[in-house]
Structure 1
Amino acid sequence: MKYRKGGAAAAAAGGSGGGESNDDGSSKAGRDAPPSIQLEIIEYNGGGREPPEKRLTLFALRLAVLEKAASGLGKLDFVWATVVLLGGFASALTITDFWCVTVILVSEGARVFSRSHELEWQHHSTLTSTAGGALRSSSRFFRRLVHALVDPAAAVVSDGGDATRDRAAQFQRQVVAFMRQRAWHAPDVSLLPYTGWVFVSKKIGRLLSWHQLLSASACVALSVARLWRHDFGSGETSNMRPALLLFYTLALAEALLFLLEKAYWTWKISVEKLLDQVGRECELGAYGHVSLTRFFYDAYSRCVTGSIFDGIKMDLVTFAEDLIVSEFLDEQLIGVRILQRFAHAAEGSTLRKLGTSPRSIERLVEMLNWKRPDEEEVRLCSAEVVSKLAGKRQNALRVSGIPGAIESVMSLLYTGWSAPASHDTTASPSSAAARGYDHPQFNLLGLLILKRLARDHDNCGKIGNTRGLLAKIIEFTHAKPELLLNPLTPASQVRAVKRALKLVKMLVSTTGGTGKILRRDVAENVFTVSSLRGVLQHGQQHRALQKLAMDILTGMAMDDDAKQVIVSTGGVVKLLLSMFFNADEKELGGEAGEALAMLALESEASCAAILKRGDVLDHLVSALEDDGEARRLNAARLMRNLCAYAGETHRPRLSKVAKAMPVVLKATMTGSDKILEVSVGLTTQICKFIDGDRFAAGLRAAGTDERGYVERLASILRENRYPVIRVPRMRRFVVHQVIWLMTSSSSAAGDGNNGGVGVDYVALLREAGMERLLESIADTTSELECYHVFSGSVGIGKHRESFSAAVDAALELLAGDGARAEA
């Protein structure tokens, strides 16, 4: 028995098994050791280094330490001044100290207050567009917007050239798309009317930053000046001098700490270019600086507003997950780009983190439906991340479990390649935009996601049940001759055909009732077999495509209706026979033979189509002596099925298979596993065309005699005391051959023909212990031995005669009661 790649079983008679390798690789055996942080770091970066963004969170932590220390000193200084100095010594202070204290308090109070809000403004200042000059051209767009709303035609004509109705309609759609954004973009909000860019929110952070620098500088200057002169505190109150000394010292220390923080900030960001360094290590590309600036401000804000350790708990993956659920396209693009990069560079940890976040998965799947031109990059990045998620089986189940997920993936597939001619003035702008859209890349990603989802049995059913999806997938399997024959064909087009073929192969190889329905649905599509025929006929330069096409035909042939479709499609059987009999096609020949054997199984029409080729039996007999095991195996399987199911019409022609008897008997005596199984089965079928004399001659030609052959059959049953899933028909074939031996022996004795077959096979079988073996088999028969083909654990093509009935017939003949049984 052979299990098809993807899960379904092929013909029970043989074929080499093996499944497709998983994209996510095989799991490694674990050790009895507790997990450690070091192991996570190694998996994250692959080379033992820490994630680059940890340098930013550490920088944010150190800045927060300085900031909180300065803020603490400032608060202490403020309380000391208000309670002690102004509260206790207000009337005794000199005019100079009074105004110095007042200026320092007002400046520091304003600085502390503005510092608490600066991070918010600075955070908003990073919400700049990542689309290049979109913000820089906003004023021009607003002017055009006003003109468009008043006079659309004039607005378009003002661009110069001959304006067309097409361009006017296109601009109106841009206006509508802009107006759909119902929320303000925070960096561009003007806080006061008629102030222009001066009070735009993204400028406020810079104003606050400069205000704090000036305040700190003023505090340093005033404090140093008063401490330098130290002419304060003389008079009636002896405690005023130390009180002022402490105040100026605290103010100086607080201002210096703040300036140290700003200097450290400037050194790391502007001189050492920390953001650029981390961006290069993370390989975030052009958007790295904006992304990491946002990340740094978030981490720093957490350290300042909460515990200083809150920021170091952040990582870029969690940060990106928060951004993709934003309502603004630039933030979504930043987030999805980070996820795309990390899904490639640190696949294990990133996908594990994403897989445990239903909100993020739902958002990524939702992005697959976005089709506006300005959302193309977001959609592409999200498709790449989803394809990586689908590569992990557990995550694939989470993706497919989202309502509408398969439909979202289906939206990536575009098959409308026919476009209007360039001179056609009726061509719509949407079709022009479609031509500019990167459809091949989306098609490849969509097919990849579906292929990875199809590893799960339930997902195959969902794919088949999604309206219109199966037809789209099959449409991608169609490859024109010029595409297959042209060596300069873009690799993306060939890759799309290959992925579609792999996906169809997985669908037709699905096990159980789901696989039965999918094979029927695939066969009912009128383009399926024609597309496969085109690949077989013109795909000489793409052997992998031809192999996939034959695998699909083999899977489809498990369905009776599909066999009829394949046989009735002209040229398919002829192409398979040519590949099978071509001595140079070793690998493809085995696949072609497997497909032919499956087609011939229990199908008289298929056998008739195969036998239309006059030399087919001669080639099969020759193939039985081939060096390749796969070629011999498939030739034996095909010949057996032709003998068993071709019908009486072709019986005279099939008699020539008798010349293969010595080769088959020799394989029975020396072979094992699948070769042995199919050799015994083929022997039983060939024996229908010969008598006992020719069988004995075949034994002599194979280098054995009757006794040796009987002992070989007995040894086979001893080695298979129980059904073996790899060769489930082994015992059935042996029992049928034992029945033929005993019936031929009885016939020869009744006819008085003692020529070379005067051997009493019943006696030989008894001497070999066959009766005891058959009784043991009668107690261990299984439903497994009643089917030709298996789709997982579901049998397909049940034998007409139950195995237990065949065993009982053999025991009756062996008992010598004169009973007759049909083999």
Structure 2
Amino acid sequence: MKYKKGDGADQPNDDGGMNGSRDAPPSIELDIIQHHGGGGGGLGSGGGGSTSFFEPTWREDTPVSGGSGQGCSSGRRGGREPPEKRLTLFALRLAVLEKAASGLGTLAFAWATVVLLGGFASDLTNTDFWCVTVILVGEGARVFSRSHELEWQHHATLTSTAGGALRSSSRVIRRFVHALAAPDDTRARAAQFQRQVVLLMKQRTWHAPDVSLLPYTGWVFLSKRIGRVLNWLQVLSASACVALSVMRLWKHDYFGAGAENKKDNMRPALLLFYTVALVEASLFLLEKLYWIWKVSVCKLLDQVSADCDLGAYGLVSLKRFFYDAYSRCISGSIFDGIKMDLVTFAEELILSDFLDEQLIGVRILQRFANSKSGSAGDTLRKVGTNPRSIERVVEMLNWKRPEEEEVRWCAAEVVSKLAGKRQNALRVSGIPGAIESVMSLLYTGRGAPASAGDPQALAAGAHGRSYDYLQFNLLGLRILKKLSRDHDNCGKIGNARGLLARIIGFTHASQPLLRNPLAPDSQVRAVKRALQVVKMLVYTTGATGKALRRDVAENVFTVSNLRGILQHGQQHMDLQKLAMDILTGLAMDDRAKEMIVSTGGVVKLLLSIFAVNVNADECELGREAAETLAMLALESEAGCSAILKRDDVLDQLVSALDDKDVRSLNAARVLRSLCAYSGDEHRTRLSAVTKAMPAVLRGTMTGSDKTLEVCVGLTTQICRFIDGERFADELRAAGLDERAYVERLVSILRQYRYPEIRVPRMRRFLVQQAVWLVTSSSSALYAGLLRELGMERLLESVADTTSELECYHVFSGSVAIGKHRENFSAIVESALQLISGGDAAAAAAGGSWTE
């Protein structure tokens, strides 16, 4: 089924300009196929009219796409390189220097132990012996402890820096500022703030950087300081090695007096050892200088953080990422680290047991998913194809503790982005309990769905806490809106216990909210998104759509909430438009139609909106109201009676036929339904519909497609109130005669010899009009003209090509709803008998086919 309109994609104020902000969610674009065509003409303009429920569509489901589609991912591959590749390249180059230094150090260690100390230990001078020993011990310890030093440094970045980032996050800072700004009870508020920070870092396992390795040593032997100690020891060892090697190579006094000729091999052995030791230590110091240059002088981490747009968590996450890449290059192949990327790194972090690591990981995913630089497509593709990652971010939606608010927020944004792509949306909804997890975002703090239009209720629902329920409500509704693009997901949403009631609860907008121009935009947005979700649910096709329409209509608040929006939403026409769309969709169900009609004031409000025709926006609303009225009047005597309660409704509908827009098309449909389905008590009043005959005849002669279809159908209904002589007068008043009119009908039927999807009732209306002509008071004239123009052969062709398409009033996608009361084949057979001069019984039967 093609959804009627843009469901929010055509509303720039719904999500626009909110990217990366906690006050409002980022922009989401939905590529929703519109259900209304553009400007079609009026009844006399020959325009195409509008696409609506009155004709079927080929496809029932539309592909789901988000603002970060293939174009973004291809732009990522075809544009600039990902910023984190500079870090992995930096790690590779450091690893090359480190492995070269470690290799030379190993060679020097082996040479010193085997050759010098093993072969010349007794012949070495005291100076060389102690220089070799010091260099050997220092460099040997440095080479063989390098991996452990990296391990300590890596542990130092695990959660200690992350905790610092958390403590400086906007959420905690805001609480701290509020605590300082309080004039009274400041100490209590400060203590509460401290408890919140401690609670944030509290885990069931030890916090590795804060573990004291020895008892009673305090901060001296904390594990997070061991890495720094080992690093400085490495530098001191290398510096000592350089100094000793240069000193011995410079002095060159390896032997005592007169001993040079006795030990010819000792000189080159010592020269080689001191040279290798000097080169090895120099490479290590060069590595350190390269590190300081890139990190401290060139600010590599800051540059990459800015390019990745990671915000306050950039340095923390990138430092962790770099040490992981560097460790892989050192422990394995030097090329292992360059295979890493930040998305995979973030996926590993969100699976951690530490809250601060989870926050860093999900924050990276949230930033990349919302990125406009081209990384969004790649990020969503990677996360979407990793079942563990999807399950984890969906699980995070259920985390409701205050210290987990930031994690939950970021996870909700990631899920929202994932739901914008069709395959990912199916994977998200396929996770057991995923719909229930999304439903948890709609919690308002009161144990029941709060009205988005009641700010006092929302404030009271928070019970004095700063937990921002409304923002989570907006994210939950946005995720549901995207998931609703898929037919199966609509069924899952409808089957989730209590979810439909919560969504409908958010459609309530109080009069103060709708009429207050200074009302918070977030509350209006919540109402709008809820309406969009309900609209997409009621427009679902097949048995699922039928059940959803019934469930939505049976909620006692649905129609009354929509009525409130129609009554007070003059300043929010987009909400009124959505409300009328929902009413139109619900009207496909007979029981729902009865509920709408029986709810006081709904039809009256629709007629009032239809009557207003001042500016372009109000004309658009008038078109929507006309379509809703057409659906309410279709095959519903109660709906027709409710419409006819207004005294001037017929005059307004007739005058609307001259408008050159879709409003005229739906006005004609309303008039046709009023003539066809109103009870006998309205027959006298409906005789005034004959005023529409000039406009209808003009549309018949010059219109096309849907305009032509509805004009022919309305002509048949108007003819119920006049005879053949009156019809001839109407033809002459329009500048026509009987022959010209019949020729037009025959030419139309010849043009639509086969069923047409765009106008599925065209041939039915034409045959019905032909039946009326040959049963009117001028039947002999019309029967002769029809035979002369070949109508019999055309009707035989129609009889051979009738289809189910022509037997229904409306369609939900390709699913037909509301079967015509008369069989089309029987009408065609009766028309053939009448035109060919059949029996009187056929004539009498033919006169009843006016529906």
TM-score by length of 2: 0.86
Structure 2 residue 642 is the aligned partner of structure 1 residue 615: no
Q: 1:52 Cα shift?
A: 1.4
Unaligned residue ranges in structure 2 (runs of 5+) = 6-31, 36-50, 169-183, 451-456
Q: Distance in 2 between matches of 1:303 and 1:448?
A: 42
Aligned-partner residue type, residue 104 of structure 1: I
- Provide the residue aligned with 2:805 in structure 1: 784
Aligned-partner residue type, residue 229 of structure 2: L
Q: Number of matched residues?
A: 767
Aligned-partner residue type, residue 774 of structure 2: M
Aligned-partner residue type, residue 478 of structure 1: H
1:653-680 deviations in Å (ceiling 9; x for gaps): 1111122222211111111111111111
- Provide the residue aligned with 2:137 in structure 1: 106
Residues 198/2 of structure 1: CA separation in 2 closer, same or farther (3 Å cut):
closer
- Provide the residue aligned with 2:276 in structure 1: 250
Structure 2 residue 497 is the aligned partner of structure 1 residue 460: no
Q: 1:740 aligns with which of 772, 781, 792?
A: 772
Q: Distance in 2 between matches of 1:431 and 1:323?
A: 33
Q: Distance in 2 between matches of 1:13 and 1:214?
A: 83
Q: Distance in 2 between matches of 1:254 and 1:23?
A: 56
1:363-402 deviations in Å (ceiling 9; x for gaps): 1111111111111111111111111111111111111111
Q: 1:95 Cα shift?
A: 2.2
Q: 1:309 Cα shift?
A: 1.4
Aligned-partner residue type, residue 389 of structure 2: S
Q: Distance in 2 between matches of 1:43 and 1:200?
A: 43
- Provide the residue aligned with 2:11 in structure 1: none
Q: 1:120 aligns with which of 138, 146, 151?
A: 151
Q: Distance in 1 between matches of 2:727 and 2:638?
A: 30
- Provide the residue aligned with 1:531 in structure 2: 561
1:202-250 deviations in Å (ceiling 9; x for gaps): 1110011011011111111111111111111545321111111101110
Residues 21/540 of structure 1: CA separation in 2 closer, same or farther (3 Å cut):
farther
Q: Secondary structure at the match of 2:583?
A: helix
Aligned-partner residue type, residue 701 of structure 2: M
Q: Distance in 2 between matches of 1:496 and 1:258?
A: 59
Q: 1:366 aligns with which of 395, 399, 405?
A: 395
Q: 1:684 aligns with which of 716, 730, 733?
A: 716
1:724-772 deviations in Å (ceiling 9; x for gaps): 111111111111111111111xxx3xxxxxxxx4752111111211111
Structure 2 residue 256 is the aligned partner of structure 1 residue 223: no
Q: 1:11 Cα shift?
A: 3.8
Residues 432/691 of structure 1: CA separation in 2 closer, same or farther (3 Å cut):
closer
- Provide the residue aligned with 1:86 in structure 2: 117
Mapping 1:58-457, distance limit 5 Å: 58-127=89-158, 128-132=160-164, 181-233=203-255, 234-235=259-260, 236-345=262-371, 346-416=375-445, 435-457=465-487
Aligned-partner residue type, residue 54 of structure 2: A
- Provide the residue aligned with 2:760 in structure 1: 728
Contact 1:664/1:683, CA 8 A, preserved across alignment: yes
Q: 1:273 Cα shift?
A: 1.3
Q: Secondary structure at the match of 2:818?
A: strand
Q: Distance in 1 between matches of 2:298 and 2:460?
A: 48
Q: 1:469 aligns with which of 491, 499, 504?
A: 499
Contact 1:410/1:446, CA 8 A, preserved across alignment: yes
- Provide the residue aligned with 1:143 in structure 2: none
Q: CA RMSD in A?
A: 3.0
TM-score by length of 1: 0.88
1:617-647 deviations in Å (ceiling 9; x for gaps): 1111111122x32111011000000111112
Structure 2 residue 819 is the aligned partner of structure 1 residue 798: yes
Q: Distance in 1 between matches of 2:200 and 2:570?
A: 51
Q: 1:114 Cα shift?
A: 2.0
Q: Secondary structure at the match of 2:540?
A: coil
Residues 106/634 of structure 1: CA separation in 2 closer, same or farther (3 Å cut):
same
Mapping 1:646-661, distance limit 5 Å: 646-661=678-693
Structure 2 residue 24 is the aligned partner of structure 1 residue 24: no
Aligned-partner residue type, residue 596 of structure 1: L
Structure 2 residue 521 is the aligned partner of structure 1 residue 491: yes
Q: 1:49 Cα shift?
A: 2.1
Q: Secondary structure at the match of 2:219?
A: coil
Q: Secondary structure at the match of 2:771?
A: helix
Q: Distance in 2 between matches of 1:604 and 1:135?
A: 67
Q: Distance in 2 between matches of 1:232 and 1:611?
A: 119
Q: Distance in 1 between matches of 2:279 and 2:419?
A: 56
Contact 2:167/2:197, CA 8 A, preserved across alignment: no
1:107-158 deviations in Å (ceiling 9; x for gaps): 111111221111111111112253548889xxxxxxxxxxxxxxxxxxxxxx
Q: Distance in 2 between matches of 1:42 and 1:619?
A: 54
Q: 1:266 Cα shift?
A: 0.9
Unaligned residue ranges in structure 1 (runs of 5+) = 30-38, 137-159, 421-426, 749-756
Q: 1:42 Cα shift?
A: 3.4
Structure 2 residue 802 is the aligned partner of structure 1 residue 770: no
Q: Secondary structure at the match of 2:399?
A: coil
Is the deviation greater in 364-373 or in 123-132? Answer: 123-132
Contact 1:71/1:112, CA 8 A, preserved across alignment: yes
Q: Distance in 2 between matches of 1:352 and 1:439?
A: 30
- Provide the residue aligned with 1:751 in structure 2: none
Contact 1:129/1:135, CA 8 A, preserved across alignment: no
Aligned-partner residue type, residue 403 of structure 1: P
- Provide the residue aligned with 2:8 in structure 1: none
Residues 399/134 of structure 1: CA separation in 2 closer, same or farther (3 Å cut):
closer
1:521-563 deviations in Å (ceiling 9; x for gaps): 0001111111111111111111111100000000010011111
Q: 1:651 Cα shift?
A: 1.2
Contact 1:373/1:433, CA 8 A, preserved across alignment: no
Q: Distance in 1 between matches of 2:238 and 2:712?
A: 97
Q: Distance in 1 between matches of 2:514 and 2:64?
A: 27
- Provide the residue aligned with 2:46 in structure 1: none
Contact 1:4/1:19, CA 8 A, preserved across alignment: no
Q: 1:702 Cα shift?
A: 2.0
1:332-358 deviations in Å (ceiling 9; x for gaps): 111111111111112222111211111
Higher relative contact order (CA 8 A, sep 6+): 2
Q: 1:18 Cα shift?
A: 13
Residues 20/439 of structure 1: CA separation in 2 closer, same or farther (3 Å cut):
farther
Q: Secondary structure at the match of 1:198?
A: helix
- Provide the residue aligned with 2:588 in structure 1: 558
Identity %: 73
Q: Distance in 1 between matches of 2:534 and 2:733?
A: 46
Q: 1:3 Cα shift?
A: 6.8
Q: Distance in 2 between matches of 1:18 and 1:457?
A: 8
Residues 175/242 of structure 1: CA separation in 2 closer, same or farther (3 Å cut):
closer
Q: Distance in 1 between matches of 2:80 and 2:200?
A: 44
Contact 2:366/2:413, CA 8 A, preserved across alignment: yes
Aligned-partner residue type, residue 409 of structure 1: V
Is the deviation greater in 231-240 or in 587-596? Answer: 231-240
Q: Distance in 2 between matches of 1:405 and 1:517?
A: 21
1:38-89 deviations in Å (ceiling 9; x for gaps): x967336x8x322211111111111111001101100111111112112222
Q: 1:191 Cα shift?
A: 1.4
Q: 1:167 Cα shift?
A: 13
Residues 65/26 of structure 1: CA separation in 2 closer, same or farther (3 Å cut):
closer
Contact 2:640/2:678, CA 8 A, preserved across alignment: yes
Residues 541/763 of structure 1: CA separation in 2 closer, same or farther (3 Å cut):
same
Contact 2:196/2:403, CA 8 A, preserved across alignment: no
Residues 97/287 of structure 1: CA separation in 2 closer, same or farther (3 Å cut):
same
Contact 2:438/2:480, CA 8 A, preserved across alignment: yes
Contact 2:531/2:578, CA 8 A, preserved across alignment: yes
Q: 2:628 aligns with which of 595, 607, 621?
A: 595
Contact 1:13/1:674, CA 8 A, preserved across alignment: no
Q: Distance in 1 between matches of 2:326 and 2:2?
A: 61
- Provide the residue aligned with 2:834 in structure 1: 813
